[in-house]
Structure formats: C-alpha cells, structure tokens
Amino acid sequence: MPKGTLIAAMNMGRAAEDEFQDWYDTEHLPERQRVPGFLVCERWIGVDDRRISLATYDLESVAVLKSPGYLAIGGENLSPWSKRVTSQVGRLMRFEGDQILPGEQLPPAKAGGLLLNAMNIAPELEAEFNEWYDKEHIPALAAVPGVLAARRFRGTGNRKYVALYHLSTPAVVESAEWKQARQSEWTSRLQPHFRDHLRLVTRRYQRGA
C-alpha cells in the first residue's frame, strides 16, 4: 500500500496571527502527531507572505484518515478552538492522496524550504501529463543542487495532483539551475492545459521567527 499524505494550505484571513500560531503549535498539530499512522507532521509559512500557512502530514496510508484515531479529532469532532480559528481563515487547498513517485520515500529531516505545485489537468492529456512528470519533469528538478527530495501525489480535493519539493533553502527555486531544469519543449506544450494551478514557495516554520 502506498504512503499517503494530507496537505492543508490556508491564508490566516481574519484570524490573529499570534492566536493562529498558538492554536497550531499547542493543539492542532500535536493532536495529529498522536494519531497512529501519522508519520511526519511539518509546518511551513509563505516566503513572500507569512500569513500563508502550509501543513504537510505524511501517513502510513491515506486510510489513516478513516481511522478511529483521526475521526475522533476531525470533521464534526473538531475542538471548539479549532472550529473558531478555522471559521476565520481562507482555505487554499485541502488534499488527501497517495504518493505515486518515488516509492515510499519520506521527506528529509532538515529541509529549509518547500515548494508545492498543485493542479488539475485537461482529462484528454492526463496520461501524457503523468508521463511527462514522471519521466522528464521530476527527474530534472530532483537533480538541481539544493533539491533534497521531489515527490508526487495523486488524490482528492480541489486539485488531483500535487508535487512537493523539499529544498535546502527556498532560494533554490530562483537559481539558474532550477530555471533551466523546468524549461523544455514538452513542458511548454503541456503548461497551457494546467487547471487550478496553485504554487506556494514556503520556508520551514519556526516558532517566533
């Protein structure tokens, strides 16, 4: 069974930043870390906008999200604090899915940055899109200096496909090597057919920083 992921991206919206961070640090993230099957739980914030919050949860499998441990803290069972805070934020994306590349790799421990690319693709080009991602795009970007891991996921939510790139620093995506690696004739041909594209460049969250 493939490894699973849960990804939550949001704008803090009307929530006060200090309360939002307190809620995430002292209640929301620790609740999920205690659920059996949650393997790696990480938080990230936007490089250009610190009110963009991204949380990534690596799971034994996506089935963990149907387990009694998770259902006890999710959905209708959210705490009063969670319901109040989440009513004030803007949800950019919630994604549940399976890791489709590469294998069962977990994220590296010391990444300073994370790039998220999420999208849908025109149905008639989906097979070619996956071939391009697997055979050209991911291998090219994974070889860029400073890229620590490059992984792909397929699942459900308002986007079907997500790619996560763990980086030594967020500045990797501004490097000449990165820009060169993401250019190709195949890429240029497929890009016009991307739908609902969400790109977030983030840095690792550190409390008080």
- The DSSP-derived string for 38-55 is EEEEEEEEESS-TTEEEE
| Percent of residues, the chain, with pLDDT higher than 90 | 93
Note the pLDDT of residue 104.
Answer: 85
Instruction: Note the pTM of the prediction, 2 decimals.
Output: 0.96
Cα-Cα end-to-end distance for the chain: 38
Q: Are 93 and 196 in contact (CB under 8 A)?
A: no
Q: What is the pLDDT of residue 1?
A: 64
Query: Distance between CA atoms of 129 and 123, rounded to whole angstroms?
Result: 10
Averaged confidence pLDDT in the chain: 96
Residue 2: its pLDDT value, please? 77
Q: Kindly report, residue by residue over 45-103, the tens digit of the pLDDT.
A: 999 999 999 999 999 999 999 999 999 999 899 999 999 999 999 999 999 999 999 87
Per-residue pLDDT, 208: 72
pLDDT digits (tens, 9 = 90+) for 19-59: 999 999 999 999 999 999 999 999 999 999 999 999 999 99
**Are 118 and 159 spatial neighbours (Cβ–Cβ below 8 Å)?**
yes
In this prediction, residue 157 carries a pLDDT of: 84
Query: Across residues 163-184, what is the average pLDDT?
Result: 98
Torsion of CA 182, 188, 189, 195, to 10 degrees: 80
Q: What DSSP state is assigned to residue 190?
A: H
Where does residue 180 fall: left (phi above 0), alpha (psi -120 to 50 degrees), or beta otherwise? alpha
